[in-house]
Structures are given as structure tokens and as C-alpha cells.
Amino acid sequence: MNQKVTSLLMAAAIGAAVTAGAAGADTAAIWTIAHRGAAGYAPENTAAAFDMAVHMKADLLELDVQLSRDGELVVIHDLSVDRTTNGKGEVRDMTLRELQALDAGSWYGPDYRGQRILSLTDFLTRYARTGVGYLIEIKEPSLYPGIEQRLAQELEVHGLTRSGAPPVIVQSFDLESLVRFKQFLPFIPVGLLTYDDRDLDSDRLRRLARTVEYVNPHLALVTEEAIRKIRQYHLKTMVWTVREPNQAELLLAYRVDGIITDYPDYVLWRSSSFETEQKENSLRSGPKGINVDVRFN
């Protein structure tokens, strides 16, 4: 199917979904979730990106955690430091001190020279009084035995398991890791990340509903039917990763629970516009359809 036809079909889907929504959609808030912070504007997973996301009034900060060689939880996406720092090597082969000696900002631009890899302790301390929530991904847990217990301990130390704490959700592509995490903090919701459409089959969703509260698919998997099936099993969903302004529109129309994006302002602006449209029971002219970025990150 060529891109023009795909765009026309997506535009039609937006129109149908928004019209249905205007007739009586669930009006629960849709979370804007800053993917590695405002990663479209500042180097990912750094204080600069997270600060910007908080300033933009994102509801949740999405971040990735791994373990350093000396057992400290660190905030970084890739298994190696090569892409996002001036260093070379695997995260798990370096101590926290070695990791924090690296420059994690210059790769993005000279204005961000000196940004550092954050420990999870640094991160949670920095944003403790902002009221923002956290969506924490456990990266490659098979490489890090015990990471689930370490994460649970860190959340407890920072008071995030108490009543009235900001929302915390833990996610992973590894279902067994989520099961292990639940053994330590059974009341913290967890979500399965997926770019496999087999995870959206009815039988699979039925089984997942025994373990997880969220199924979080890649944008390329999202259809009205997929969202309906997820909800049928009383699961919630946060979709990743929005990188274009018009991609948010379909997700808002489908009333997903959260939109994970590099550009929180895109979603917040679209959300405001979309709610106005619903109240008026009308659409702005000329929806453009959605160009899906199929990068699985």
C-alpha cells in the first residue's frame, strides 16, 4: 500500500473516530508522557530534557534504567554509551563514577555540553517536588539479575509507594521481569511494551490481564479495533512514540490512556484543540493523516 493511500485511510480513521468521540467519548484525561524527557528538544534521558518536559507540564516522565558495574541504577537507553556520550563501552561494564564522568549532552549540541548520565537516585531527588509521575522502563533485564528488587527498593526509599505519591508505572518488553517486580511491589502497576501484533490477540490479552495493568504498543500497531480489544480485557494502554504533531490526533480520538512522545508540547497542544473540537462536535478542515515512524524506540 503506497504512502498516499495509507495517509488517506488514516485521515478517514481520524474522522470516524473523532466523530464517534464527539458523540459520547470517555472524557478521562489522557496522559502526556515525555519520552526520555523532551527528547525532541534536548539530549535524551538528561536533566536538560526532563527539566524541559516538566516545564512543558508533561504528566509523566518516561525513562530507562539499567545497572552500572557497581550495582547502581542509571538512567540511559542504549546498552552502550557510544551513541549518547563521548565515551565507549557497555553500561554494565562501567561504574557509576565512570559513567557520570562522561559528557551526555555534546552529541546533541554544544549548548548541552556537560550534561551527565543520571543515577535513578539523582533523578528521583531532582523531581520529587514537581508532582510529575514516572513511567520507568527496565532495559534488558536478563543482563541485570536483581534489577527488579533494586528498583523496588529505590521507589520505596523515595516515598513513591506511599498513598498520595505521584503515579509510578513500570514497563518492560520482558514479561517475566514484570512478574518479578510485582513480587516486591504488587500494587505498582506494570505495562508490557510491544511491537508484536501477536500480543494484541484476544487469547494473549486475556493471559496478560492476569499480570499487567497496561499493554503499551508501538504506534504502528494501533487501530481502533486494537484499542477496543485491549479495553475489553480491562487493560489500559500508552502508545509510543509520537514524533509528529498530527500523530497525536488519532490517539486522542481513540482515547488511549497515555501518549508517549519526544515532543510533549505537540500532544498538549493537540489535546487542547481536540477537546475544543469535541465540545463543538466538529472537525477542523483537512486532517492530514498520520505518518508513522517505525523506529522501535
Query: Does 35 participate in catalysis according to the annotation?
Result: yes
**What is each CA distance from 187 to 139, 147, 152, 161, 238, in whole angstroms?**
21, 18, 11, 8, 19
Q: Are 249 and 287 in contact (CB under 8 A)?
A: yes
Q: Are 193 and 173 in contact (CB under 8 A)?
A: yes
CA distance 143 to 140: 6
Question: Grid cell 551513541 — which residue?
Answer: 83
Instruction: Give the N- to C-terminal CA distance of the chain in Å, as an integer.
Output: 24
Cell of 292: 508513522
Dist CA 268 CA 284 (whole Å): 17
Sign of CA dihedral 56, 60, 64, 68: positive
Which residues are CB-contacts of 186 (< 8 A; sequence separation ≥ 6)? none
* Residue appearing with cell numbers 534489577: 147
Residues 6+ apart with CB under 8 A from 150: 67, 71, 73
77 is catalytic: yes
DSSP string over 142-179? GGSTTHHHHHHHHHHHTTTTSTTPPPEEEEES-HHHHH
Spatial CA neighbour of 55 closest among 155, 127, 114: 127
Q: Which residues contact 147 (CB under 8 A, 6 or more apart)?
A: 65, 66, 67, 73, 138, 141, 177
Q: Which residues belong to the active site? A: 35, 77
